[in-house]
Amino acid sequence: MGAESIPPPTNPTLPPPLDTPTNPFREELATRQRPDPCTVVIFGASGDLTSRKLIPALYNLASEGELPPTLKVVGFARREKTHESFRSELEEMNKKVSRSGHNAQLWAAFSQGVYYHQSEFEDADGYARLAERLRKLDAEGAGGNRLFYLASAPDQFVPILQQLQKAGLNQPTGPGKWSRVVVEKPFGTDLATAQRLNGVVNEVFDESDTYRIDHYLGKETAQNIMVLRFANSIFESMWNNRYIDHVQITCAENLGMEGGRGGYYDKAGALRDMVQNHLLQLLSLVAMEPPTDLTADGVRDEKVKVLRSLRSFADAADVGRNVVRAQYSAGTVDGKPAVGYRKEDRVNPDSQTEAYVALRVMVDNWRWEGVPFYIRVGKQLPKKSTEISIHFKKPPSVLFNKLAGGENANILSIRIQPDEGIALRMYSKMPGASMRLEQVKMDFHYSSSFGKASPEAYERLLLDAMAGDATLFARRDEVENAWKYIDQIHRAWHASENPPPICEYPAGTWGPQESDELLERDGRAWRRI
């Protein structure tokens, strides 16, 4: 297949590429170069991540003219499949989940660059055959650049990396070419395993060619946190302990262990599955200092400083005072009955794994001294929502705070998902003769303000990895400092003589009473989502 085998989209309803005359500001506003031609090799290609997220993301990028026309995709997995059957399976899923809809003509062109490669992950011959396939694709226009995406089970990461090295696939094919690896979470299960995995990765790929993915950082609103703070003086001037009382980060899920997820989740738990990566990443974006520049290391240097500033816990009792863990009992979610966590499929009936965790986190630096960050994440809560809320201090109470309706402070809420956007709650006088205050909301929605849906997180992250921009990917020291903080809590729960108790909450409620008490002791309350 030659360089012209994937034509540009011809459906007139699809948006034109951003570098066409319809957008004369593209060159002025661009922050990243268009990716070079390359081949994306996905390990674990028969899994759900590939069909639901990765291939639809690449298809949507193709529909918007963001991909090089000679992009190739090779799915590497154990099951027996042909190119045609693999493409057909991907097409059926793309019809269901693609953000931009499904265009048969575009899919036909895009899918001609998608191939299937069957092999065991530890089979050296399979990698030799892969190398030969990649050389043929290079000759057909792929350009000699390779992006290896580890979407397999975590216990296969090391064998895959070692086999790539033995086959010489970790090395660039020539001057000006590149070979990179994208590693999915979980990146280790504690500090020791993360360090070992980092060691293997960096033996095979240079750190500058390693992309540890966290899809939360690909969401538009997460990316917009820095713009909100550093491009708007009204916020940055108040983004400190003089004006902010506290910060809340909530990640609520209204699902349990559907889809056989209980086997994995019962070994991981909410703390390691969500807090260590997603939520500490969001905290670091909110708390970081202004970077010296917008390069990948410029941004990540400041995020690491935040993680290094997180206050350590003195002992298990200190963990108990600042962290709440819980499991859900039987209840009702969205009008449907839900079983308790220990009754879920593939969950140990005597499980000590948390399905909910709430933390009081202190950032011990000049900007945030005395400002608590409250984090909560849980399963089988009333709704699905991820939100950051900045709670400003109340103004002096000599005037309006003594009036009816004037008890609360201003809140800036940043909605990560769903309905991405930003809202600011403030006070206004209600119409009428009396001086009565009412909260009003200034609300910004991505979809309505920009006239189109936000790109899926994987679209941005795949494009950045192909373009060599690591800003939204975790660096080695980020991962290890996050694990260092989380390990303290995990040891207190599982390796101390008097571990803090596991609390309980009915499915369909907002968590255990102990979580509310965590804030009540500080004279605060969880924001109602």
Distances (CA, A) of 358 to 117, 208, 267, 466, 494: 44, 34, 19, 36, 17
What is the C-alpha separation between 75 and 89, in angstroms, rounded? Answer: 12
pLDDT at 397: 67
User: 355 and 438: one domain?
Assistant: yes
Answer whether residue 190 is part of any domain. Answer: no
Under 8 Å between Cβ of 191 and 480: yes
Answer whether residue 20 is part of any domain. Answer: no
Phi/psi at 445 (nearest 5 deg)? -115, 130
Distances (CA, A) of 316 to 201, 213, 307, 376, 491: 33, 32, 21, 19, 8
Answer whether residue 38 is part of any domain. Answer: yes
What is the C-alpha separation between 437 and 352, in angstroms, rounded? Answer: 47
What is the C-alpha separation between 457 and 164, in angstroms, rounded? Answer: 27
- Point out the residues that are catalytic: 278
User: 232 and 301: one domain?
Assistant: yes
User: 502 and 426: one domain?
Assistant: yes
Under 8 Å between Cβ of 151 and 44: yes
Domain extent, residue 376, equals 217-520
Q: Which of 184, 207, 240 is the last residue of a domain?
A: 184
User: 376 and 504: one domain?
Assistant: yes
User: 507 and 385: one domain?
Assistant: yes
Helix or strand holding residue 293 (H, E): none
Task: Give the CATH number for residue 272.
Answer: 3.30.360.10
What is the C-alpha separation between 15 and 236, in angstroms, rounded? Answer: 35
Under 8 Å between Cβ of 441 and 465: no
pLDDT at 33: 63
DSSP letter (8 states) at residue 454: P
Answer whether residue 3 is part of any domain. Answer: no
Answer whether residue 194 is part of any domain. Answer: no
- What's the number of domains the chain is made of? 2
Q: Which of 124, 159, 184 is the last residue of a domain?
A: 184
Answer whether residue 209 is part of any domain. Answer: no
User: 300 and 166: one domain?
Assistant: no
Q: Which of 127, 162, 184 is the last residue of a domain?
A: 184
**For the CA atoms of the chain, what is the radius of gyration?**
24
Q: pTM for the whole thing?
A: 0.88
Burial class (CB in 10 A: 0-12, 13-18, 19+), 508: buried
> And the tokens for 83?
């190119």
What is the C-alpha separation between 165 and 162, in angstroms, rounded? Answer: 5
| Residues 6+ away with beta carbon under 8 Å from 398 | none
> And the tokens for 2?
């030659």
User: 159 and 225: one domain?
Assistant: no
User: 163 and 248: one domain?
Assistant: no
User: 175 and 251: one domain?
Assistant: no
Task: Give the CATH number for residue 83.
Answer: 3.40.50.720
User: 35 and 172: one domain?
Assistant: yes
Query: Which three-class secondary structure string do you get for 7-38?
Result: CCCCCCCCCCCCCCCCCCCHHHHCCCCCCCCC
What is the C-alpha separation between 169 and 130, in angstroms, rounded? Answer: 9
pLDDT at 18: 38
User: 273 and 159: one domain?
Assistant: no
* Helix-strand-coil split of the chain, %, nearest 5: 40, 20, 40
What is the C-alpha separation between 406 and 411, in angstroms, rounded? Answer: 13
What is the C-alpha separation between 353 and 347, in angstroms, rounded? Answer: 9
pLDDT at 414: 93
Answer whether residue 4 is part of any domain. Answer: no
Helix intervals (H) in 42-173: 48-49, 55-63, 83-97, 104-111, 124-137, 157-166
Answer whether residue 202 is part of any domain. Answer: no
Cis peptide before 154 (omega within 30 of 0): no
pLDDT at 453: 63
Phi/psi at 112 (nearest 5 deg)? -65, -15
pLDDT at 419: 81
Helix or strand holding residue 151 (H, E): none
User: 129 and 272: one domain?
Assistant: no
User: From the first residue on, what is the mean pLDDT of each consecutive set of 10 residues in the chain (529 residues)?
Assistant: 39 38 39 79 94 95 89 95 95 93 93 95 96 94 93 93 96 94 92 96 96 87 87 91 97 91 91 94 95 90 97 95 97 93 95 97 97 98 95 76 60 88 80 72 73 78 93 94 97 89 96 97 93
